[in-house]
A = this chain, B = another copy of it.
């Protein structure tokens, strides 16, 4: 880790053994030194969760020239925090989450452990990117994304990202990617979210499932439109959640106190 190459911290929410993160490492091996600190197993849907009730730890899995891999007992965000606190030799030039097995466009950004990683990197002032493929399968084919991942990482390392902003990049599941589109987050909603089952002893339990409803399927500037039409969706994302518009409106509200 003493080369002149950029240093990139990589994590994910599918665990260090997932195909997506290992493909990402292969895609980026020659352009950066890589530190992988990823959960020891699947943490899909972890969002920005942190572990405070228990301690967390890490174990080094392997080390080669320009690559070191650790597994972490905590959440995706714990992994980033722990990496930045004790494992990196210097502040990384970039934090990357992914490549996720599954779509993190639209409202999924709020549940995404991948984007939890990216927001954490961004909160620490580091240019950060999340990559996700719209295929949940454990053996999904990530190879079509390779040249785009390399292009987006290289260009972002060169250009930088404004303070407080990061990128949410999603790939449609096709080997015929049409190019990159800069998008906004689609307005959508998950409906019919549970499948009800009964245990052998009769107690009801509920599996999360559901259908995604796009509230604006004809809006061509959205990330979901891009994905539906074969484009790589790059959604610039920010960590300041303030609604400045509502802030102005509420100053006119008549609170009694």
Footprint of B on A, CB under 8 Å?
A: 42, 44-53, 55-57, 77-78, 81-82, 85-86, 107, 109-111, 116, 119-120, 123-125, 147-148, 151-152, 155, 159, 161-162, 164-165, 168, 179-180, 182-185, 187, 189-190, 192-194, 196-197, 203-208, 234-247, 249-251, 253-257
Contact yes or no, B47 A50, CB < 8 A: yes
State the oligomeric state as a number of copies: 2
Selected from B179, B206, B247, the residue in CB contact (under 8 A) with A257 is B179
List the B side residues contacting A55 at CB < 8 Å: 197, 205-207
* Contact assessment for A235 and B242 in the assembled complex, using a CB-CB cutoff below 8 Å: yes
Q: How far is the CA of A189 from the CA of B86 in the complex (A)?
A: 17
Find out whether the CB atom of A47 lies under 8 angstroms from the CB atom of B47: yes
Check B107–A50 contact: CB distance below 8 A.
Answer: no
Extra pairs beyond A56-B206, A183-B247 (7, CB < 8 Å): A45-B51, A82-B194, A85-B192, A109-B241, A151-B256, A161-B246, A241-B241
Alpha-carbon distance A168/B242, docked complex (angstroms):
9
Cβ contact within 8 Å between B236 and A243: yes
